[in-house]
Chain A
Amino acid sequence: MLEIKNLHARVNPEEGEAKAILKGVDLTVPAGEVHAIMGPNGCGKSTLSYVLAGHEGYEVTDGSVSFLGEEMGELEPEERAAKGLFLSFQYPVEIPGVPTLTFLKEAANAQLKARGEGEISAPEFMKFARENAAKLGISSEMLKRPVNVGFSGGEKKRMEIFQAMMLSPKFLILDETDSGLDIDALRVVADGVNALRSPERGMLVITHYQRLLEYLKPDVVHVMADGRIVKTGGPELALELEAEGYEKFTGAAA
């Protein structure tokens, strides 16, 4: 479903000195599978998520990304979204003055339009929103508030999963969705993510810790170090990392 080949990327020279961050990432996630990427700070995990979502701050210098058999190339972020890619942000952004549901309805309809499908009706959308909010313990008052404004770290992460539910993407990238969550919130979010698992949907879960993976039970775990995938294994790899740390991999990469 998602195929990353020899991907090289650097921070866009516009924003200072061009610094290579991804140095040949190879990764394939088939539909229906959940893959985790673990790795130390600065290894390029978040950069990978931004590059996949089409952030203009990064420049792809080599390699390719194909999604559902189609080259992502220079596609704009909104085109990637319309094709079914969803990024749950590590630091969700606040948008003052724009109610969450207004934002999501605009987004949903923009995606439908881009795919040549009909718009969703307001009552239909509201019903869907209420159902999803209930699953995540989100109050209707929270939905009326501007996007992420005044939310705690945990609430923001919960809203990211809510957004994913509302937009029904084909592929989810979860960038450190577990950071800033206490144990109860983690369970709620993990349940939300698990509810999104399906044979048609792929997921890439980026995390530092094993904690989230206990709930999500990934099919494959990758270790990333210095801009490359340095080891791939089953769920047991996450446990190994938790026990032994990243050192032997970062050492191997250097």
Chain B
Amino acid sequence: MPAVKETIEDVRRLEADKYKYGFTTEIEQEFAPKGLNEDIVRFISEKKGEPQWMLDWRLDAYRRWVEMEEPTWANVHHPKIDYQDAYYYAAPKNAAKYKSLDEVPAELLETYKKLGIPLREAEVLLGVEGAEDRTAAEAREAPKVAVDAVFDSVSVATTFKKELEKAGVIFMPISEALQEYPDLVRQYLGSVVPVTDNYFATLNSAVFSDGSFVYVPPGVRCPMELSTYFRMNAQGTGQFERTLIIADKGAYVSYLEGCTAPMRDENQLHAAVVELVALDDAEIKYSTVQNWWPGDAEGKGGVYNFVTKRADCRGRNSKVSWTQVETGSAITWKYPSCVLRGDNSQGEFYSIAVTNGRQQADTGTKMIHLGRNTKSRIIAKGISAGRSDQTYRGLVSVHAKAEGARNFTQCDSLLIGDQCGAHTVPYIEAKTPKATLEHEATTSKLSDDQLFYARSRGLDEETAVALLVNGFCREVLQELPMEFAVEAQALLKVSLEGSVG
């Protein structure tokens, strides 16, 4: 092999090694044909055995999508996406139960191992006989996290289902919920993010494959944290999850979403929709750690993450809290928002966004104050390194009837090196004089003095950077559930490797 080529190969290997979750599982997939048209929409709906109204809903969305233009207002740049050059449905072929773990294909187990899912939990997820009962027994002693793993498009299995059932909590793939609780799904689906909301949400409405459905009945405090691992696992398969979470009156639920994806050479489109509904006195806490393949050092490959996440604080005294740690993806376009409809309702947005290499992120939140005495709080920490570019875009809107509304916004940007960019674009509008809005923003560079001080105490440069960045993000990290806080801190370090020096 010529020396130059060998070097290139070596470098490529190094790059690949850096991304711990960049792996692919070789298992047989059942694809829909490439491209998107009405037949594909019908194929997806039929595969899932959906009711007629659902198919009609999808087709309606598809017909509207065809008429829409892809938005260009975000501060991100990418080649035009060819929507006809992707698969819109893939499902693991082997859905049969296994008698024991020995029968489970080794590569599947390996995937779970790399994802950090304990073996016993993997047993349940893979449908090994009797695993669920054993796990449930253990779960009574251990800290509880229920996992609904989306393995590509189809949820492979659901853990702790029985435990949740006892509490009356419904937690299942949305495809199953469409079978078992069609009325509930029909009542709330699209009620927060309407079919025509935006280009990507409309696309999702037409072709969404699966996702999670959560319903917490009145007065119930969900007995465990709910978590979902999304994985994209088929070449050229866009992911279109649809998540719907409803906290009925006085209910509480904390939902954790953690994402890793295999490495890809070609760009992968990810256009998820998450809808949260909080009724009177209900509270939903939604936490995300997003670590999808960001592309290589030159920006080749990587996931396009165009997500619509919105919460409707529909009831009085309801509360929704979004916490996100965004380190992955080549391009992020994401604004988890709260519509504060109920009087005294509260919305919170805590965000850490890290961009390195050639990553681009345009992210922020929208707080729409409709009800009286509604409160919102925004803490956004942006860290730009390498040659990346990052924009915080936020809207605080107070409508005429939202007397006594209050907002506090704090946006801090940290620059590492001198080749990256950070932008803050806050939109603030108040249609009542009886509102209190505060906005604070800072931009700073990682200080050489701090770095030297930390290194003189024995910390190597990367650990020192990670520590300083963790300090910078502390207010947000504190909002994460314990399981995520540790992972997030480690993730910050990995994401910023090679950002200085």
Contacts and interface: CB of A to CB of B under 8 A. Distances in A.
A97 B470 contact: yes
Question: Considering residues B447, B452, B475, which has the most beta carbons from chain A within 10 angstroms of its beta carbon?
Answer: B452
A77 B471 CA distance: 21
Contact of A76 (B448, B455, B467, B472): B455
Interface in A59-118: 76-78, 80-82, 86-87, 89, 92-98, 103-104, 106-108, 110-111, 114
A198 B81 CA distance: 69
Interface in B459-496: 459-461, 463-464, 467-468, 470-475
Contact of A56 (B450, B452, B453): B452
A95 B454 contact: yes
A144 interface: no
Nearest to A92: B453
A163 interface: yes
A81 B471 contact: no
A78 B455 contact: yes
Contacts of B187: none
Given A55-B452, A92-B453, A95-B454, A110 B472 contact: no
Contacts of B461: 76, 78
Chain A CB within 10 Å, residue with most, of B450, B458, B470, B473: B458
Contact of A114 (B458, B471, B473): B458
A107 B460 CA distance: 9
A78 B450 contact: no
A54 interface: yes
Contacts of B456: 53-54, 77-78, 80-81, 86-87, 89
Contact of A107 (B449, B450, B457, B473): B457
B470 A98 contact: yes
B458 A95 contact: no
A93 B453 contact: yes
A68 to B, nearest CB: 16
Contacts of A34: none
Contacts of B472: 96-97
A244 B103 CA distance: 89
A51 to B, nearest CB: 12
B467 A77 contact: no
Contacts of A98: 467-468, 470-471, 474
Contacts of B448: 56-57
B457 A163 contact: yes
A128 B463 CA distance: 23
Which residue of B454, B463, B475 has the most chain A CB atoms within 10 A of its CB atom?
A: B454
A92 B457 CA distance: 12
A157 to B, nearest CB: 14
A167 interface: yes
Nearest to B464: A78
B471 A146 contact: yes
Given A95-B468, A98-B468, A81 B473 contact: no
A111 B458 CA distance: 5
A97 B458 CA distance: 19
Interface in A134-151: 146
B112 to A, nearest CB: 29
A96 B450 CA distance: 10
Interface in B431-445: none
A148 to B, nearest CB: 9
Given A55-B452, A93-B449, A78 B458 contact: yes
Contacts of B474: 96-98
Contacts of B470: 97-98
Contact of B450 (A54, A93, A167): A93
Contacts of A76: 455, 460-461
Nearest to A82: B458
B458 A108 contact: yes
A56 B471 CA distance: 23
Interface string B42-54: 0000000000000
Contacts of A106: 459, 463, 467
Nearest to B452: A55
Nearest to B460: A78
Given A103-B467, A110-B460, A95 B455 contact: no
Given A77-B456, A97-B471, A114-B458, 11 more contacts: A53-B452, A78-B459, A78-B461, A86-B456, A93-B449, A93-B452, A95-B450, A95-B453, A97-B474, A98-B467, A98-B470
The 6 closest A-B pairs by CB, nearest first: A97-B471, A97-B474, A81-B458, A98-B471, A107-B457, A111-B458
20 contacts: A56-B448, A76-B461, A77-B452, A77-B455, A78-B459, A78-B464, A93-B450, A93-B453, A94-B450, A95-B450, A95-B454, A96-B472, A96-B474, A97-B475, A104-B457, A106-B459, A107-B457, A110-B463, A114-B458, A146-B471
